[in-house]
Structure 1
Amino acid sequence: MEKVAVIGGGSWATALVKILSENKSEIHWWMRSEQDVQHLRTYRHNPRYLSQVSFDLDYVKPDTDMQAVIAAAGWVILAVPAAFVEQALSNLPQDTFAGKVVVSAIKGMVPGQNMLITDYMESRFLVPNSHLLVIAGPCHAEEVALEKQSYLTIGSHEPETAEQFCQLLRNRYVKANPLDDLDGIEYCAVMKNIIALACGIARGLNFGDNFQAVLVSNAMFEIERFLDAIMPQHRALSGSAYLGDLLVTAYSQFSRNRTFGNMIGHGYTVKSAQIEMNMVAEGYYAVQSIYELNKKLQVDMPITKAVYLILYERISPAVEFEILKEKLK
């Protein structure tokens, strides 16, 4: 029996615990709230997210002791929001992850440091890049809960390790495949949330499907330009780990980034949208990181710039999108 630690109590963490535990892996699940842990032990479901999913406690071991959870497993999945990853891991010794494979299920960057999660783990905890993986979609937690057919891509520098992790995930409704582009997948996962914000803002401003199609098409070129500048490598960006993940985040009713953007387009302030959603939209933090990185790269990124100006410089969404629409082709 493989032993897997899952760090985080949100919807994506819950979905991954469902997949892995139903495949008979032993899951040591860290949740921040003692109340949530006790609820899960008593009632077998997460009270806050995907509460329709029932867990077999022979395989799922919830706990609030992060060090004990990590120590009990060979695989460690990080599934907390990127904005809080430093805080969540702050008390761990540097050698906590020694000998373990660390899997990032976080689709964001470390704010302030503008670092990918895998880069942060390599720098802060000295995890070798051969022991780092990332999970990419297209896949929404809500559809995993409903057991709808889903696809995952596992990015890595070590194909054999990625394939081993894929085997832990595959079941009748989840297909998983390895891909040797850890950095490209991770950056694309960050940027697709920014594009989803833009799509939501456009919808909130009452732009139609025609505009959104052009917006997403231009976004793929924007992502390609950025990846070529920061991490050049031949990539088939029409693949599901890139274009597929972008499309599901840009169009799906389950996309929290699209929902957040939609609220901004309808006139909500950032703060009021965050309070009403009560969930983290990773794109809000990601756009600041990408915008800061691009000050040096000087890549043409009109969509990213527009979202940044709206969220951080408080430029009117209507005004900014009037400017943006003239730049799209």
Structure 2
Amino acid sequence: MEETEQKIGMLGSGSWATAMIKMLGDNHEKKQVLWWIRKEEDLAYVKTYKHNPTYLSAVELRVDADHLFSDARTVIKQSDIVILNTPSAYLKDALKGVDAADFKGKLVVTAIKGIIPDENLIVGEYLSKIYQIPLANIIVIGGPCHAEEVSAEKLSYLTIAAKDTANAERVASVLRNRYINTILSTDVYGVEYGAVLKNIYALAGGICHGLGFGDNFMAVLVSNAIREMETCVMAIDPEANRDINASAYLGDLLVTAYSQFSRNRTFGHMIGKGYTVQSAQLEMNMVAEGYYASACIQNIIQRYNLEMPICNMVYQILYNKQPANVEVNTLASKLT
């Protein structure tokens, strides 16, 4: 029997979306890849030159010009598997004109490591609430995985989380290739919330580094952060089968907290050096998801009455404009 061709739709054209387009192109399973690119000038460039002019511009992409679109709804309706890969703050805008019927019967994958800011929901919860997508059809992609290393074909691992393991494997099968290994998980909420929290902790690490704290302090900060993460995800979903030391949690936290490619660490470093939030955002060409996540996680902390001093420190600095050196020194007295 001839293998059925799967249609994979990608929404987003930032560095992570571009890296995933490369993954899909380097996976030899029979499939058709459709790609929504928001900016018409970028779309035209990719059609002509097979490179993204704005992100990972040196990477050659295996894309068919006829499968590139400026209309997100067209991509969604034609796809069997839809991968959402925009910054969380821009997802609602990307899905304008899309309704629940367009997602019916499809696997919907979130590669977004953030919270919808004005909804205070992780992406999976937002999709379920607004588009009535069954939880079994929502798949979450976790790390540890930086786009820059994927583009360089350095061996990397993705965690694919879904309540239905068959659906997780179906998504994993179109992503894995000679430099991408996949790990399956059923901890949908833990993987998604972990991906949100690690950005806040990386931002905290960047603030501390910008203030002049060294590796010794950073090690203590990260070891406290993983325990704080466990406190949060256990409060949200205590019944899940998870090991907080697994790659999707500790591994993703480590790479985001320490890597030169971490935009959240870079953003935090700028704040520690004295940049305002606005000036740091203007200087960066990419979205630091930890900034938006910090405000949203405060609601989780209050809802469950949690002790999360690292998240609180970041929130006080970013949103209440408290002096970074004062807040970090206060936090330092609480770390163990």
Hey, what does 2:63 align to over in structure 1? 57
Q: Equivalent pairs: percent with the same residue?
A: 50
2:42/2:53 contact within 8 Å kept: yes
Hey, what does 2:200 align to over in structure 1? 194
2: distance between equivalents of 1:270 and 1:243?
A: 27
Helix, strand or coil at the partner of 2:205: helix
What amino acid is the match of 2:111?
A: A
Gaps of 5+ in 2: none
1:163/1:177 contact within 8 Å kept: no
What amino acid is the match of 2:43?
A: V
2: distance between equivalents of 1:292 and 1:60?
A: 44
How far did residue 138 of structure 1 move?
0.4
Superposed, 1:138-217 pairs within 5 Å as 138-217=144-223
Helix, strand or coil at the partner of 1:18: helix
Superposed, 1:1-329 pairs within 5 Å as 1-24=5-28, 25-58=31-64, 61-233=67-239, 234-329=241-336
How far did residue 59 of structure 1 move?
8.1
1: distance between equivalents of 2:63 and 2:20?
A: 15
Helix, strand or coil at the partner of 2:243: coil
What amino acid is the match of 1:23?
A: N
Count of residue correspondences: 329
Helix, strand or coil at the partner of 2:108: strand
1: distance between equivalents of 2:181 and 2:268?
A: 30
Helix, strand or coil at the partner of 2:219: helix
TM-score (norm 2): 0.96
2:72/2:94 contact within 8 Å kept: no
Residues 301, 35 of structure 1: alpha-carbon distance in 2 compared, 3 angstrom cutoff: same
2:73/2:95 contact within 8 Å kept: no
Cα root mean square deviation, aligned: 1.1
1: distance between equivalents of 2:46 and 2:8?
A: 18
1:21/1:59 contact within 8 Å kept: no
Which runs of 4 or more aligned residues in structure 1 lie more than 3 Å from their structure 2 counterparts after TM superposition?
57-60
How far did residue 243 of structure 1 move?
0.4
CA offsets, 1:74-127, max 9 Å, x none?
000000000111122132122110111000000001112210101100111111
Gaps of 5+ in 1: none
2: distance between equivalents of 1:77 and 1:300?
A: 34
What amino acid is the match of 1:62?
A: L
Helix, strand or coil at the partner of 1:154: strand
Residues 62, 219 of structure 1: alpha-carbon distance in 2 compared, 3 angstrom cutoff: same
What amino acid is the match of 1:22?
A: D
2:159/2:182 contact within 8 Å kept: yes
1: distance between equivalents of 2:40 and 2:124?
A: 28
